[in-house]
Amino acid sequence: MLSRQNGRGIAVWRSYCISPTAPQQAGRLFRTDMATTTFTEQLTNFLMKLRFEDIPDPTRSRCIDLILDHLAVSIAGTDLPWTKALKRYAAAQRTTGSAVIYGAGRTSADIAALVNGTMAHGIELDDTHERSVSHPGAVVISTALALAQELDVDDQALITAIVAGYEAMGRIGAAFDPEYMARGSHPTANHGVFGASAVAGKLLGLSSLQLNMAWGIASSMNSGSMAFTEDPLGTMVKRLHAGWPAHSGIVASKLAMLGFTGPRNTLDTKKGYLGRNSPNANRASIVEGLGVQWVIDEISIKPYACCRLFHSSIDAIEQLKAEHSLKPDDVEHVVVRSCRPAIDGHMEYRPESVMSAQYSLPFSIAVALCGSAGDPAQFSEESLKNSSTLNLADRVTAEVSDELDALFPQKYAGSVAIQLRDGTKLEATVLDCSGSAANPLDRNAIEKKFNILTAAQLNPSQQAAFLACIRGMPSTRSMHALSTLLIGEDHEG
């Protein structure tokens, strides 16, 4: 399977690229050659012909960073209530296979992706793509690892598939108009099936036409509403918004491989994915810079366990804490200024669940002032009744800043103004939050995050084994070593 996949379309691809190691030239030639085809065809052609050698070294390296970050947040979520529910569901299916549910057992790739994707999105620390307002890693990497284990491909095939998945999910999502989420649709859940289908199509060796069909099938499977933001108790479903598209993308691609058909060109047609969901979508942006600009290079890694839209404001608080030795009791009032999406639907003052706490701007700001928003435990069920946090949250208000709102979604900017009890006024503004592409975390910081988040699940030697395995990419030829680590010794054999 692997050799057949790696050989597919190379001669055609080289007709676009005089030198396969010259990505800038590749991008220009690709756009020219594809000018007469649909946007769906242009993107599927590019993705299915993409080779490991066509991906720049820094982008490959960043992909490996994102795999490590994905494993950190996933392992940290192995014992949470929504993960346990999905594991029970998986066990009831009695499916067999070689794909690992992290920390549990083996099953089919689609079921593993369902559970692992939900797990990865479970503590609000998974990666983010600002332009598409989505969390690609939880979907894309869950899909890739599950299928890579089922097919036992090498690291180069794994990395190529992940890059393709980010390209699909990020580019399609970024084409949507800025009001898409405000109309009630959750981008991760909806755009995710395209990223997952691209990953699956790449690993399964689909043709461009088969991926086109798979996207037509997948566009009938995708769904994800923002209703969870309006119900403080209805919260587990948001975690599923990464697991379900991972599952659906695998199913859609396997169906297409078997000859099951779906409507072609769903990114172009009037009743297709963009046509029905975003009439003013910028379709041309879907293929702009293909082979030159890579979505993975735009990905943010989250340092704080809450909604990404709050992170610049939390950075501003951290800056003021460092400069002025702020104590919670010193604070009289806090005004947060940010983009409209960071405020609308996020002003819950008495969250009743972990999810609603992580989506509450006042609560998250109070956590940052009282302790560390990077600690998922600060958003636990036990923390929801913390009187110090709640009292401080009551002193937080928010205003939409026209200036900062104009920067969204390219930047998730935030500003805070703090009035102290002694009359002192402190202000700070952050345009590029920590972990963003413009202000990235380096590999050392990502490894530190991994060690902190997995300390409860892994002992130091197990952590070291994971780090060594990931650092060894992309030179390993099999998924066996990583699968053995993921399954955990209690379940091996």
Cα–Cα nearest to 269, from 466, 427, 479, 39: 39
Q: How many CA atoms lie within 13 A of 70 on its CB side?
A: 28
Domain containing residue 157: CATH number:
1.10.4100.10
Confidence of residue 234 (pLDDT cuts 50, 70, 90): low
Q: Is 452 a member of any domain?
A: no
Q: Is 482 a member of any domain?
A: no
Kindly state whether residues 277 and 350 are assigned to the same domain.
no
Kindly state whether residues 121 and 247 are assigned to the same domain.
yes
d(CA 196, CA 194): 5
**Judging by beta carbons within 10 Å of its beta carbon (0-12, 13-18, 19+), is residue 289 exposed, middle or buried?**
middle
Of 430, 446, 465, which closes a domain? 430
CB 447 within 8 A of CB 464: no
User: What integer pLDDT is reported at residue 114 of this predicted model?
Assistant: 98
Query: What are the pLDDT digits (tens) for 296-316?
Result: 999 999 999 999 999 999 999
User: What integer pLDDT is reported at residue 2 of this predicted model?
Assistant: 29
Kindly state whether residues 198 and 338 are assigned to the same domain.
no
Residues of the chain with pLDDT > 90, as a percent, come to 81
Residues of the chain with pLDDT > 70, as a percent, come to 91
d(CA 339, CA 168): 26
User: What integer pLDDT is reported at residue 97 of this predicted model?
Assistant: 94
Q: Is 413 a member of any domain?
A: yes
Which of 32-36, 247-251, 347-351 has the least mean pLDDT? 32-36
Of 300, 326, 357, which closes a domain? 300
Kindly state whether residues 165 and 282 are assigned to the same domain.
yes
Of 430, 460, 484, which closes a domain? 430
Q: Is 445 a member of any domain?
A: no
Q: Is 471 a member of any domain?
A: no
Kindly state whether residues 295 and 349 are assigned to the same domain.
no
Q: Is 28 a member of any domain?
A: yes
Kindly state whether residues 162 and 279 are assigned to the same domain.
yes
Kindly state whether residues 235 and 357 are assigned to the same domain.
no
Number of domains in the chain: 2
Cα–Cα nearest to 188, from 138, 143, 135, 240: 135
Query: What are the pLDDT digits (tens) for 47-97?
Result: 999 999 999 999 999 999 999 999 999 999 999 999 999 999 999 999 999
Kindly state whether residues 255 and 323 are assigned to the same domain.
no
Which of 34-38, 265-269, 402-406 has the least mean pLDDT? 34-38
Confidence of residue 36 (pLDDT cuts 50, 70, 90): low
Which of 188-202, 223-237, 326-340, 447-461 has the least mean pLDDT? 223-237
Kindly state whether residues 18 and 91 are assigned to the same domain.
yes
| Mean of per-residue pLDDT scores for the chain | 90
User: What integer pLDDT is reported at residue 35 of this predicted model?
Assistant: 52
The residues pairing with 129 across neighbouring beta strands, listed in sequence order, are 134, 299
Q: Is 202 a member of any domain?
A: yes
d(CA 331, CA 375): 22
Domain containing residue 411: CATH number:
3.30.1330.120
State the Cα angle at 449 between 199 and 159, rounded to 5°.
Answer: 20
Distant-in-sequence, close-in-space partners of 52: CB < 8 Å, separation ≥ 6: 60, 156, 157, 159, 160, 474
Kindly state whether residues 247 and 315 are assigned to the same domain.
no
Per the structure block, which two tokens stand in for 435?
């972990």
AA identity, residue 397: T
Distance of CA 438 to the CA centre of its chain: 17
Kindly state whether residues 292 and 319 are assigned to the same domain.
no
Q: Is 447 a member of any domain?
A: no
Domain that holds residue 412: 308-430
Kindly state whether residues 67 and 171 are assigned to the same domain.
yes
